[in-house]
Amino acid sequence: MTRRSLTIVIACAGLLWLLGLAAYPLLENTEGRYASVAWDMAHGGDWITPTFNGAALLTKPPLAYWAGAAALKMLPDREWAVRLPATLALVLCAWLTLRLALVLGLDELRARWAGLMALLSPLAVAQGHMTTGDIFLWAGALAACTAALDDRPRLATRTLTGLGLAVGFMAKGHMALFWTVIPLGAWALSGRDRWRPVARLFHPVALAIFIALAAPWYVTVMHRHPGLLGFWLGDETAGRLASTRHGRAEPWWYFLPMVPVLMLPWLPELWRGLRTPPPPRGGPLPCTASAVGPRAPDRLFGERLQAAQLPAAHGCAAGGDGCRGIAGPPRR
């Protein structure tokens, strides 16, 4: 395929994707709530305290609301406009998966396949068509993990680590820790000299950037609403983990088929890739750590959400298994 033909194919695919953003109304109830809060912000509302039906809504940090509101300020008040930031976040996640594959030792061809696999996995496609906070959490956690796994002693990688943590915390709060510390901790336990990525999450530069970007909103909103910290720690954290009163619990076996479904139509290639030699720093471990790590807290307790499977997309792809199945073993 020539470069011109490839450009035409990509342009047509992008147009179809954008048409898909406007093909159906906002989904109830989560997407409708996010869009309503974003609309209030864009039309003269408070950008510090999100509001829904005139009442403060502080169950989640505001990054997804801000993204939707910014889009509505610049674009028409339509479903596709408020969903567009999620699509851009998905494209960013695909590029970060490509970078992660390179960091793990894959060559450029397989890294590109890894990015494509993450971009087109069914759950990622669904989240890229919805205005919620999960896709932004994925982008932040993936950025932080990719930078932390990069052994190059560069200021840019430490900066990206802090930026990724800040994005994750501004999207879903403490869930950013589950999506970064647990997978990297599993990586550290898998072999000698693999503890450094965990330490890089708490590098002084990364922490300084994280605090500078995330702390101002948290401090401001807690000053406005006394008792908010107790609500977050009690109801929104301990309450979700230790009970099923939020109505999002499923049987323990509910998510067993989720990874195979998540990786369609790449499942045959994923199986084929598992049977070929792994890349220098890849193999089944990144897939397992990324898929199981973020799910550990809610699998042990009561909260179970499908979106927590998103990291399995970059784990299966950048771990080298799926893209090696498509492209074959590395050239000698």
Q: For the chain, which residues make up each domain, given as ranges?
A: 93-226+250-327
pLDDT of the residue at 158? 93
pLDDT of the residue at 151? 86
Q: The whole model's pTM is what?
A: 0.85
pLDDT of the residue at 182? 81
Q: What is the spatial distance between Cα 297 and Cα 310, in angstroms, rounded to a whole number?
A: 15
pLDDT of the residue at 241? 63
Tokens of 97: 């998966």
3-state secondary structure of 328: coil
For the chain, the residue count is: 332
pLDDT of the residue at 174? 85
Grouped pLDDT means (10 residues each) for the chain, 332 residues: 63 70 78 92 90 89 95 90 92 90 83 83 84 92 92 89 96 87 79 82 94 96 91 74 58 62 66 60 54 54 57 65 48 42
Q: How many C-beta neighbours within 10 Å does residue 231 have?
A: 14
pLDDT of the residue at 282? 52
Q: What is the spatial distance between Cα 274 and Cα 91, in angstroms, rounded to a whole number?
A: 26
